[in-house]
Chain A
Amino acid sequence: MHAYLTSTGLISPQRTFENDFSCGLETEGAPILPAIEPNYKGLINPVQLRRMSRILKLGLGAAQLCINNAGGQQPDAIIVGTGLACVNDLEIFLKSIIETGEQSLSSIPFINSLHNTVAAQVARTLKIQTYNNTHCHRGASFENALLDALMLLHEKEHQQVLVGGIDEFSTHYYNLLTPKVVTGEGAGFFLLSNAPAGKNSVKISAVRTFYAPEENFIARFLAEQHTPAHHLDAVLLGINGNPGDDAVYCRLMDSFFPPSCQLITYKHLCGEYHTSSAFGLALAAHSIAAGAFPAPAIFKPGKAAKPQKVLLYNHYQNCNHTLILIEKFAAES
């Protein structure tokens, strides 16, 4: 199963909403990286905007950016991956239930509090009344949404699928868990198609999720894709600054990925959140198209002049491990 990337729309702690993937914004030392948001008035109908919570603006804004970048092409299906979904609105709603003794509840926080709210609002705005789904699987939420999209395209019932990964910062969640990493947030949407968008495009060749996998799962995955590790031009690793999490990546850097392979890190640019691999995928896709990764993302340079075959490897608390194989697709003329 594979898909071709038609366009992306990313709102993140970098200025990616302007399609600027230079990732030049200084993030060092900040415990929280908030998303840099566009002026939504140019993207979202002001009548709709007024009732939207922040995560809805992030999601709908990124989806609309993606559609705009695709020249207005409409998807046949909408799929979203999110770890915490509209958790801030859910808190408001639950608090009001307690405060009012389950009486006289305002409808707006309820509407905004559901896990599928973002996907539903995107569908409502784009007037897409077909397949609509939201996946919530902790650190593998975005990859599960991607898998769902790939399966839809594989079945050929849908030609174009809009798939996104979205999570926003939650003060309550942050205070409860006091994470040992830089916390981030973001919304990334991708228009995937079962046909390449042009002569040069980016292909998502494979997506796989693993729960507490065996030692050699990456080697097995690459073998299934007929891609030995030395064929990879770059590997994006979800290094997040937590020594416990990063030890998993460090072992692979030392023993598995060959010296010729460029090593890229991205969570110091976008922060850690359940669907941060959506940032990683957008960064990989833009870098393949541009012919180079931005300097702030390069952990160790490699041999390839231009990255063509890239692996994105992420794990969440060493339980949910995910792999996405991305490559440049050039049509034979």
Chain B
Amino acid sequence: MEKTALVEQLKAQIIEALLLEDLTPGDIDPAAPLFVEGLGLDSIDALELILLLEKQYGIRVEDPKERRDALQSVNAMADYILSHEKSEG
């Protein structure tokens, strides 16, 4: 999948998984930080995003540092998924 399409797909999945009912995918800046600033997510949301990666993309992120980097922003999540696909493929 192209990164642009993946980013749009992730935005929709994040809204659904985190119950961000007041947001549309267009409201989410893919480069903005997901936590504290930007969407202002918290540690419970982090758990849900890890679950999203596992359920939707079959990726289990075990290493805490890798997890932190992968969840920096929507772009970072997309890059992580694509890099994972490459290494798997």
Contact = CB atoms under 8 A, between A and B. Distances in A.
Given A47-B40, A51-B44, A111-B44, A106 B18 contact: no
A199 B34 CA distance: 53
Interface string B51-71: 100110000000000000000
Interface string B27-61: 00000000000001000100110010011000000
A107 B54 contact: no
B21 interface: yes
B19 A51 contact: yes
**Chain A, interface size: which category?**
10 to 19
B58 to A, nearest CB: 11
Contacts of B54: 104
Contact of B51 (A46, A51, A106, A111): A106
A96 to B, nearest CB: 11
A107 B47 contact: yes
Contacts of A319: none
A251 interface: no
Contacts of A50: 18-22
A290 interface: no
B19 A104 contact: no
A108 B21 CA distance: 15
Nearest to B50: A104
Contact of A108 (B20, B22, B40, B48): B48
Interface of B: 17-22, 40, 44, 47-48, 51, 54-55
Given A50-B18, A50-B19, 11 more contacts: A47-B40, A50-B21, A51-B19, A104-B51, A104-B54, A106-B48, A107-B44, A107-B47, A108-B19, A108-B48, A111-B44
Interface of A: 46-47, 50-51, 104-108, 111
23 contacts: A46-B22, A47-B40, A50-B18, A50-B19, A50-B20, A50-B21, A50-B22, A51-B19, A51-B44, A104-B51, A104-B54, A104-B55, A105-B51, A106-B17, A106-B48, A106-B51, A107-B44, A107-B47, A107-B48, A108-B19, A108-B44, A108-B48, A111-B44
